[in-house]
Structure 1
Amino acid sequence: MADNSIVKGVLLKANSILGKEEERALARRAIEGDETAEEQLINSHLGFVMKVAKGYKRSGVPMSDLIQEGIVGLIKAVRRFNPDFDARLSTYAKWWIRASIQDHIVKSWSLVRLSTTSAQKSLFLNLRRKTFELIEGADALSENIVTQLAERFETTAVDVRNLARRVTLRDQSLDAPISDEHGETWLDQLKSDAETPEECIAQESEKTILSELMERALQKLPAREQFIIKNRYFVEAKQTFASIGRELNLSKDRVRQLENRALQTLKELTEPGLIDSQIIIK
């Protein structure tokens, strides 16, 4: 229904074909800024836009979109047309109309950029027409066709095959189910158990805060308790109560008692800072 309304709207606006001299006179007025003359030139070629757009009706893009893009190309042509050259506006505008339509077809086919140069866009459209006729899609293209296209557009057969597969397979939503039997989506397959960059940054920030809190708290402990804590928790090779006792001339049970007291003191000293920083120690 939308396509029909667009077509009807274009037909209602379309004016009769202009004569050569009338067209030139309007073009000169349009160059001087006469918007009415410009509009008349555009309206007189709307039927021509429809004719060009119909050539791409098998592109998979709605006809209304093709016509609208064709009109965009026509407007560009009208504003660049030189009436002093011995050429009709339709001849000049045809390239602009086709280029605008082709560019839209390529861009609308995928969110990922498919083609950049004019040759690549032409190859895309050629492949689109050929694969449209093949039920099996890109893999059904014969080696002969692939070779001919590769030679014509100065590329490799591998590139032709790869682009042909892109042409036949439209973008798929990550929220789409993998199959009718399972509710799992493609997005579920992309999930990772690894920490996100945001989580890594948050953890590093917490480590920095904890390190600063602990350093300040340790400095408030008596020297013996600082020594015990550092050698029990801040060295690669954790010392035993007995080995620390020998260095401090204490029994291992006394070292254990001092460690417990020191840990309780550290907890009391760091707890307010942890609460302020909203850090939870599990």
Structure 2
Amino acid sequence: MLAKNWKDRGHLKSAHKLVTSHLRLVAKIAMGYRGYGLPVSEMVSEGNIGLMKAVKKFEPEKGFRLATYAMWWIKASIQEYVLRSWSLVKMGTTTAQKKLFFNLKKIKNQLSATNSMGDLNDEHVKEISKRLNVKKDEVISMNRRLYGKEKSLNDPIKAGEDSGEWQDWVVDDKLDQELKFSQSQEFNQRKKLMNDSMDILNPREREILTARRLSEDIATLEDLSKKYKVSRERIRQIETKAFEKLQKAMLNAAKSN
């Protein structure tokens, strides 16, 4: 009924309820990407944007559950954010590259497939290639890129060797400049949507909402009640009101796009 009211009549309260009822799903999915060293709050924000898109595009008459449909959008938004933020150089956005990026570490651990330099032997490359249905040279390439995450492109490959710099090993993909621009533009639009929506909150609302829903270490009602010298119930009311204002602003923005 909620999904139908939103789809057929553009009923914002119904859309709001659909979003709020799936926030735990966003948080759960975002926590699954903690291993990439990025702020959980940022991944939750990206996941929320994916959830908004799912609600906007959801077609209840097709018989699918919103949670099932939204999961794809949430994961896609978070994965795109991880790919954009994590890499020193472009990791690539093909299906094979994404599959490798998000599964290579897990499979390597399962196979105990690493030496002191992080390299893979031929047997492990073959097994990973088979499991993920990708080419062996793609496995090798992604492993090199992932292992060299924290290195500068101008660092020598090995100390004391005249084997060049890391940038000599980076494949020049001759990226289409329009594609690069569109990707950065989309990222900026998403960040602007969140930031603009946050701007409608007063400072106290913004601080409480961030502390309660967007921080890695979630503050308790008790902690915040002491900080702001109000009751725990008052903190809960401010949090709820701030979240409703934020969701309404984001839904309005999404609907107008």
TM range (shorter): 0.5 to 0.7
RMSD: 3.0
Q: Which residue of 1 aligns with 2:189?
A: none
Aligned partner of 1:66 among 43, 66, 78: 43
SS at match of 2:62: coil
* Deviation at residue 68 of structure 1 after TM alignment: 1.3
Q: Normalised by the size of structure 2, how large is the TM-score? A: 0.52
Aligned partner of 1:79 among 13, 34, 56: 56
Larger relative CO (CA 8 A, sep 6+): 1 or 2? Answer: 2
- The structure with the largest alpha-carbon Rg is 1
Amino acid at match of 1:55: G
Q: Matched residues in 2 for 1:78 and 1:159: separation?
A: 35
Amino acid at match of 1:37: S
* Deviation at residue 158 of structure 1 after TM alignment: 2.5
Are the structure 2 counterparts of residues 36 and 161 from structure 1 closer, same or farther at C-alpha, using a change threshold of 3 Å?
same
* Deviation at residue 36 of structure 1 after TM alignment: 2.0
Q: Normalised by the size of structure 1, how large is the TM-score? A: 0.48
Q: Could you list the per-position Cα deviations for residues 86-128 of structure 1 after superposition, in whole angstroms to 9, with x for gaps in the alignment?
A: 2211111111111111121111122522122223201111124
Contact 1:59 1:129 in 2 (8 A): no
Aligned partner of 2:21 among 13, 24, 44: 44
Q: Could you list the per-position Cα deviations for residues 69-102 of structure 1 after superposition, in whole angstroms to 9, with x for gaps in the alignment?
A: 1111111111111111222111111111111111
Count, aligned residues = 155
Aligned partner of 1:138 among 104, 118, 136: 118
Structure 1 moving runs of 4+ over 4 Å: 130-135, 171-176
Contact 1:27 1:38 in 2 (8 A): yes
Amino acid at match of 1:67: V
Amino acid at match of 1:44: S
Identity of aligned residues (%): 39
Q: Matched residues in 1 for 2:69 and 2:54: separation?
A: 7
Gaps of 5+ in 1: 1-24, 179-185, 187-282
Does 63-72 or 123-132 show the bigger shift? 123-132
Q: Matched residues in 2 for 1:121 and 1:154: separation?
A: 12
1:113 aligns with 2:90: yes
Amino acid at match of 1:86: G
Q: Matched residues in 1 for 2:88 and 2:52: separation?
A: 26
Contact 1:103 1:121 in 2 (8 A): no
Gaps of 5+ in 2: 158-164, 166-257
Q: Matched residues in 2 for 1:131 and 1:48: separation?
A: 28
